[in-house]
Every structure is written in structure tokens, then in C-alpha cells.
Amino acid sequence: MSKNMEKQLFNLKFAAKQMDRSAKKCEKDEKTEKMKVKKALQKGNLEGARIHAENAIRQKNQGLNFMRMSARVDGVASRVQSAIQMSQVTKSMGSVVKSMDTALKSMNLEKVAGIMDQFERQFEHLDVQTQTMDEAMSGVTTLTTPEDQVEGLMRQSADEAGLELNLELPTNPTGVAAPAQDDDLSARLAQLRNS
């Protein structure tokens, strides 16, 4: 059973890495589409800019979905790893209990104290693993509506290109994810993977 679980753990970690790679590809494709938005706006091609903006937002959302799935798979992998280690802890505890029975029969207090120290170390190790797993499974952000994002990206690209954009767009679109939020999400995901 342990060998089978270790194989599953390997497969889960491999799947998480594949999703990470897919997320990075989406991020690269998003940047390419953003450049195309800027170029289309500079040429006065608003319809082309809108199409590229939609593609960029779709790539961004797809990348975020890959990152979310990667984090979820990492969480499952942590649980499997905990189960494998729990099995090892259970075996260790079994030997500790046998040693404790022997020590209690002889009433050697030094042996009892030593065994209790071992027992507490096993539980501390288990607590750390549980805490790490809980942190890996917490927190998922929600996506905003794509239309607002498309319009916001078009405005941002026009601003960066130094162009005046004459569209019937809200002057302050709501729901546009700020770059700092993206950076914060990326940093949190990286931290979860490293823990």
C-alpha cells in the first residue's frame, strides 16, 4: 500500500508541475496579446484591439485557473504525503508503545521519560505537517467579470501607448484586477509551493 501511495504522490506532484508550466505559458501568451492590443490601438484598429484584449483576458483567466488547480493538487499531494508519513508515525508509535510497556513493567523512570520524549516528538512532527497542509489548502480568489477586464485592459494599453481612447467605456471600470493583486497572488502561490 505504501508503494502505491508513493506512486500516487509522485503523479500528483508531476501533475502540479505540468499545471505550473501551463500557467506560465498562459502568462506569456497574455503578454503577447497585450502587445497586440497596443499595436492595434496605435493603428486605430479598435475592433482588433478588442479581440486581442479578449484573448489576453482569457489567457489571464486560464492561467489563474491553472495556478488554482496546481495549488489544489499540491494540497492533495500534501494530504497523501501526510498519510504516508502518518503510516510511518503509526509504526513508530507502535514500537514506542511496546517500549513503554516494557519500561512500565520494570518501572524504570528514566526509560519512561525517554519514551515520552519520543512520543511527543512524533506528535510535534505530525502537528507541523498538519499545519502546512492546512495552509496549502486555504484561500482562493475569485475572478471579476471579463467585460470590465477587457475594457480596463484596452484603457491601460491606450494609456501606456500615449493614445486617447474614445470609447463609450466607464472612466473608472470596476472589477479590474490591479497588477499588485496579481503579484500578491503569485507570491502567495509560490510561498505555498515552497512550504
Q: Using CA atoms, how far apart are residues 98 and 154, in angstroms rounded to an integer? A: 70
What is the mean predicted confidence (pLDDT) over 60-69?
A: 91
31-43 pLDDT, tens digit per residue, is 999 999 999 999 9
Q: Using CA atoms, how far apart are residues 61 and 180, in angstroms rounded to an integer? A: 16
Amino acid at 183: D
pTM above 0.85, yes or no: no
133-171 pLDDT, tens digit per residue, is 566 555 433 343 457 777 787 888 878 777 766 655 444
